[in-house]
Amino acid sequence: MAKETSKMLNPEFKMELEAAEPVEPQARWGNFFANHWKGCVVFLMPLLCLPIILMNNIPEYRCMYILLIMAVFWVTEALPLYVTSMIPIVAFPTLGIMGSEETCMTYFKDTLVMFMGGIMVALAVEYSGLHKRLALRVIQMVGCSPRRLHFGLIMVTMFISMWISNAACTAMMSPIVQAVLEELQAQGVCKIYHEPEYQMVGGKNKKKNEDELPYPTKVTQCYYLGIAYASSLGGCGTIIGTATNLTFKGIYDTAFPNATEKLDFPTFMFYSVPSMLVYTVLTYVFLQWHFMGLWRPNSKEAQEVQVGKDNAHVAKKVIDQRYKELGPMNMHEIQVMILFILMVFMYFTRKPGIFTGWADLLPSKVIKNSMPTIFVVIMCFMLPANYAFLRYCTRRGAVPTTPTPSLITWKFIQSRVPWGLIFLLGGGFALAAGSKQSGMATLIGSSMSGLKVLPNAALLLVVILVAVFMTAFSSNVAVANILIPVLNEMSLALKIHPLYLVFPAGLACSMAFHLPVSTPPNALVAGYAHIRSKDMAIAGIGPTIITIVVLFIFCQTWAMVIYPNLDTFPEWAQIAAEEAANKTRMLAEITANKTHLLELAANATRLLANNTELLTDLSTSSSNLVGDLIANSSEPLAQLAVNGTRLLTEIALNKTL
């Protein structure tokens, strides 16, 4: 009772005893870093990088200080990606790199508006259900045998991913794949997951690793990884296909506003779509070889595929049923399809170059792709999803009793748009603008001038490899934000056309196939189908090699057709290089002048100290001289005064007598 009373009076009694129990130091520190490593990175990284600005307190190194901190935060995700992207808003004005107004303006540029508008249009397509109708219809046309079905799923996913986000495309296709596999399994054609293994424990059968989720069969992995990889590859086809494309386009446009070779919508597609088709088809072939026994007819996988081929009608039954459930095409889908086609048409005909575009006919200022994108978004809210309200005029049929909805609702957009991307993309644009304005990008580019010894082709291959390696472990957009500004300035330092390095590097930032964390499509299928990381890492080897080789070859051949001057150093780049050199020279002169002024100030201080000492000595000498003079003169003057007094006394006495 007394023991219980003591616990009631002091409820922390037990906790204190537990806290006082001895704990292994290694386990304690290991547990600390395991739980708090992000906090350690956040607080230690600024301190570790502090010598950069303490030793060189000039704008270039202050911007480099911010770049290193943001790069580490982006790669490690010690802070959320979107929060890290806000750092320039605070750091640039504080460190004297850019003003607040100028910095914040980079967070909402034309490229960013185009991207956000593209997401909204893609959501309108999703809201209407048009994407499902398109996917199922194409699969019906291609066929439903295992190999044909796989090819159809990949090509449909690739095409849809060109226009909507990769994550949304993967999320849309995954339930379709799951429905097909479940029906095939119900018919005994294939298995989705491996059977659990059992072992004898105490005379009873017990599952091995009961805590582990069942892992998918090779056929299942082939389907799911196919749509994940196709989403990433399809996003490379258009500017709005993925945020990475808009990132390096925005950084390139910011760095070279006077460039004659632009990254407009049609040129981008002409450059990237052919290579996209090639490495998508080759990725399909690799997955077929790796998972479905292509060219290995006696393998177990090939025999399973043959069984599936004989039962293709089962998959076709599922696809036909799903398509039938959609019903006939309604007015909502038709209008969304027309608006989508109109938006793409306006992209291509804005300023095509080969004929007068509609933007050239308007008496206005420069019109970019954000205008047609937002125009279509506004039309999606203005047009009704159906025209049942016309029955009020025709008086045919029952009139609607509720308001007619628009093609999309703001509530749906508000809940589905990744608003954080505004800061993620804007942070990259701000970093690019700050690195250019401070001179940091020129400094880094000049430091890489030693790479001139490498042939251009070898340098391009190195750039692609670096981009692919970095994007395997970090966000694609974050890697582009770090890499592209450096490549811009490196191109000027090496006198290479900037697009020769920037375009391939930007595309390579989207080619992440090895890990679930590499990109959202990988993470989605890994969670949806319980694909293990080691299985994805092995399967990603083929697509990685394929994309590197194909991209390198196309950039040496097809790119020269799209950009004929790609093997030269254009005049606008020469002007940009001269401006950068002049800025570097001016900054060097300013630094030298500052050093000279500091030396003059030091000399003046030293001279002032010497003059003060001289004046002190002179004052002391003068005081001593006056003192000696007075001391030496006082005795003769006293004697003179005595003699004078005696003389005057004698004169006065004589007069009296």
Residue 13: the pLDDT is 42
For residues 295 and 147, the answer to whether their CB atoms sit within 8 Å is no
CA torsion 647→653→656→657, rounded to 10°?
-120
Q: Which residue has the tokens 């490379």?
A: 236
**Residues 444-496: tens digit of each pLDDT:** 767 766 777 788 888 999 889 988 888 877 778 878 888 888 888 888 888 88
CA atoms 20, 22, 23, 29: torsion sign: positive
4 pLDDT tier (thresholds 50, 70, 90): very low
Residue 330 CA to residue 128 CA, distance in Å, equals: 9
Query: Chain-wide mean pLDDT for the chain?
Result: 79
Indicate the range of 123-132, 603-612, 632-641 predicted with least confidence.
632-641
- Per-residue burial over 338-367, b if 16 or more Cβ lie within 10 Å, else e, is ebbeebbebbeebbbeeeebebeeeeeeeb
Residue 332: the pLDDT is 92
Indicate the range of 69-73, 86-90, 98-102, 292-296 predicted with least confidence.
292-296
Residue 163: the pLDDT is 82
**Residues 155-203: tens digit of each pLDDT:** 988 988 888 778 778 877 887 788 777 767 766 667 777 765 544 445 4
Residue 9: the pLDDT is 44
- Which one-letter DSSP state was computed for residue 196? P
For residues 488 and 252, the answer to whether their CB atoms sit within 8 Å is yes
The mean per-residue pLDDT over the stretch 394-417 comes to 84
Domain parsing of the chain, residue ranges: 112-194+212-254+262-380, 573-607+629-654
For residues 107 and 426, the answer to whether their CB atoms sit within 8 Å is yes
Burial bucket for residue 42 (CB in 10 Å: 0-12, 13-18, 19+):
middle
**Residues 577-623: tens digit of each pLDDT:** 777 777 666 666 666 666 667 677 777 777 777 766 666 766 676 66
Please choose, from the candidates 453, 459, 462, the residue with its C-alpha nearest in 3D space to the C-alpha of residue 491.
Answer: 459
Residue 202 CA to residue 302 CA, distance in Å, equals: 40
Residue 287: the pLDDT is 92
pTM, entire model: 0.69
- Measured distance between the N- and C-terminal CA atoms of the chain, rounded to whole angstroms: 134
Tokens of 38: 């992000």
According to DSSP, the residues that pair with 193 across neighbouring strands are 216
Q: Could you give the 3-state DSSP secondary structure of residue 108?
A: coil
